[in-house]
Amino acid sequence: MRSRLLELTFSKGWLYSFQRRHNFKSRRTQGEAGTACAASVERGRIALRARIFDYDAKDAYNLDETALYYCKPPTETIFTDPISRRKSDKKRFPVALAANADGRKNLLLLFVGSAVKPRCFGRQSGDHHAVQYKNTNKGCSWAALLRIAPRTFSKSKVKIEMILPNTTSVLQPMDAGVIACLKAYFHRSQGFHAVDVEDSVIDDEEKSTKDLYEVDVRPAGYALVP
């Protein structure tokens, strides 16, 4: 059988028609759901349902965090000739998102950094600039994140349930498109900002090489706040 398969040959036209007929396309794999254990996911789903069974949907909140590379240029563009990609800027800060189960209440985005007062804030706090910013020396560990989370609820009435390890790619609602939507919204604002910067230096040869995507934490936060 193997020898017969090796002898098969197909023309490019036949392969192209076969792919179109069966809707075969080259697609980029998304997310990490493929690494989740089905048994662990089912156990986690049962545990979460039991945990929030006695709560109304409006009282069950979900919290997740993601890293935002706020100075990183886009990796896709429109051009006629091949161009070289620039070195990516690694500046980033964690952003925490929280919302209740019925979708009617979204908490303000929480930006986490290492600096007590970023230089771009001047002498004011993040609240003065309409950006909810907190600092921690240990990065965005969950323990640190929960300590600096907004005091929206009474501590005595809050119960925290952690999603089982290796199941968040399936059970975490924020990973089902919310975080992707947030980043798409940011990149849209980032594109508008880049166009404004380009327009401001288009007649100045000395400034024409300025990085269009270089911003501080404050304008990056503004880009995520409606």
C-alpha dihedral sign at 29, 30, 31, 34: negative
Beta bridge partners of residue 81, listed in sequence order:
none
Rounded Cα–Cα distance for residues 148 and 132 (Å): 11
Q: Would you state the pLDDT for residue 155?
A: 60
Which CA distances in Å does 8 have to 1, 4, 38, 149? 11, 7, 38, 62
Structure tokens at 157: 């009435």
Beta bridge partners of residue 68, listed in sequence order:
93
Residue 94 resides in a domain: yes
- What is the SS3 assignment for 134-164? EECCCCCCHHHHHHHCCCCCCHHHCCCCCCC
Give the number of domains in the chain: 1
Residue 124 resides in a domain: yes
Residue 62 resides in a domain: yes
Classified as helix, coil or strand, 59 is helix
| pLDDT tens for the 226 residues of the chain, in order | 677 777 788 888 888 888 888 888 776 655 555 555 778 788 888 888 888 888 888 888 888 888 888 888 777 776 767 766 666 777 788 888 888 888 888 888 888 877 777 777 777 776 666 677 777 766 555 555 666 555 556 566 777 778 877 777 788 888 888 888 888 888 888 888 888 877 776 666 555 556 777 777 666 676 666 6
Range of the domain at 154: 32-224
| Side-chain half-sphere CA neighbours of 161 within 13 A | 17
Residue 123 resides in a domain: yes
Closest CA to 64 of 110, 127, 14: 110
Rounded Cα–Cα distance for residues 44 and 165 (Å): 9
Residue 171 resides in a domain: yes
Residue 59 resides in a domain: yes
Rounded Cα–Cα distance for residues 166 and 38 (Å): 10
Q: Would you state the pLDDT for residue 27?
A: 66
Closest CA to 106 of 150, 67, 55: 150
What is the chain's length? 226
Rounded Cα–Cα distance for residues 92 and 116 (Å): 16
Terminal C-alpha separation, the chain: 62
C-alpha dihedral sign at 181, 182, 187, 192: positive
Residue 16 resides in a domain: no
Residue 115 resides in a domain: yes
